Amino acid sequence: MADRLKQIYSQFFPFKMSSELWQNVPLAPPDSIFKLTAAYKADSYDKKVNLGVGAYRDDNDKPWILPVVRKVEEIILNTPALDHEYLPITGLPEFTVAAAKLILGPDSRAIAEGRVTTVQTISGTGANHLGALFLSRFYQWTGDKKEVYLSDPTWANHPAIFNNVGIAPLYYPYYDPKTLGLNFDGFLSSLKSAPSGSVFLIHACAHNPTGVDPTRDQWNAIAEIMLEKGHYGFFDCAYQGFASGDLDNDAWAVRFFVEQGVNMLVCQSFAKNAGLYGERVGALHIVSPGKEAAERVKSQLSVLQRSEISNPPSYGARIVTLILNDAALFEEWKRDISTMAGRIIDMRKELFKILTEELHTPGNWDHIVNQIGMFSFTGITPEQSKALTEKAHIYLTVNGRISMTGLNRNNIRYFATSLDAAVRGTL
């Protein structure tokens, strides 16, 4: 009877999944940041500190929903005419127009001339991916190789994004561990020695992970060589307003390069400056030499976007659009941004004060206040970083990068004294 049932079953279900089907799929390592966060959450120690997360926290170590976002959410909730229909492939038109003006400037000549193509993306990560995918398909590469120059170091996701579209990452000197600042000479040397027409990914402000940015004079020198060599600028702007507290100031480099005529694109994110981490609101802006070229670029971006996500999500884009297009809401948003940036700057100053004036921690700690934005490269060794995590329950990446937003008045002294002990070798 059992054999007969097996025979009948095999007639109706002739195929079965082999247990060996995925035997050749290697087990990928977990993402380092998410692994760090998981370890922090599993830790029961009452003084634990999470300095790995790339998201803003208030002075009570809680996620902060911007007051202006709360207000706009109420407006959306009480607008019956809004529906849940698909957005156009390239995104909410009111959003793309406003986002372009925010990063490129309301008086941008490139926008006025119709040379800017903007597509709404899945936050900054999606903008990076779509920009990389577009270049992999259509950029006039030098020679047979598709390569992009990334800063050393850079955001961990950058090399993965480019590798996934067949563009090999190369690296240009950026951070100088001796000075804990910018390796400007090394940067310029790479720009000069790279083949003409090379693609350089450049952090627009608040460099991740170092917090080290060029000065305006240095930006000018970088732009000159980019123009001279015909290099392509792949700008990643994840922290506009979040770095200095001033939206225009943090967009200066991008606007300057556009004005100078550098061939470029810009990846834009509203995760940090609007606190819309989970809503995935971003945009890709490609600046073309003419209006006709911009129209062709848009046609191909539409094809690529359609095949990947079809249409971007509407909720976060509507929030940002309302903020950008209403003068009162925009001013309130700027105040919220100033609050976040100001708290980070205050934490930098307080940490510097404790280390230098109270603890007299060995070494020079000027970089703590000289660096800008969410992250700081402390300059400590991997062994010291591991000691902080294993012995003091302070979670940070092994390269010594800390998220300044994880510090607050309740834990900054504990972190400072632990850091001091780690540096002295007494932790």
The length of the chain in residues reads 427
Q: Which residue's structure tokens are 């899945």?
A: 122
Q: Is 201 helix (H, G, I), strand (E, B) or coil?
A: strand
Q: Is 155 marked active-site?
A: yes
Give the Cβ contact number of residue 51 at 10 Å. Answer: 25
Q: What does the alpha-carbon distance between residue 359 and residue 238 come to, in Å, rounded to a whole number?
A: 34
Of 302, 246, 235, 245, nearest to 269 by C-alpha is 235
Bridge partners, 139 (sequence order)? none
Say which of 155, 219, 333, 365 is annotated catalytic: 155
Say which of 48, 213, 272, 298 is annotated catalytic: 272
Q: How far is CA 301 from CA 241, 267, 296, 307, 424, in A?
A: 27, 14, 9, 10, 54
Q: How far is CA 91 from CA 119, 310, 356, 397, in A?
A: 6, 10, 50, 35
At residue 196, φ and ψ (nearest 5 deg) are: -55, 140
Q: How far is CA 201 from CA 13, 176, 267, 316, 417, in A?
A: 52, 18, 10, 26, 37
Encoded amino acid at 328, one letter:
A
| 353 in Cβ contact with 187 (< 8 Å) | no
Say which of 48, 213, 219, 236 is annotated catalytic: 236
Of 426, 423, 425, nearest to 362 by C-alpha is 423
Q: Is 236 marked active-site?
A: yes
Cis, peptide link before residue 209, omega less than 30° from 0: yes
Q: Is 3 marked active-site?
A: no
97 burial level (CB within 10 Å; 0-12, 13-18, 19+):
middle
- Helix boundaries (H) for 43-142: 67-77, 93-104, 109-112, 123-138
Q: What does the alpha-carbon distance between residue 300 and residue 252 come to, in Å, rounded to a whole number?
A: 29
18 burial level (CB within 10 Å; 0-12, 13-18, 19+):
exposed
Give the residue numbers marked as catalytic: 155, 236, 272
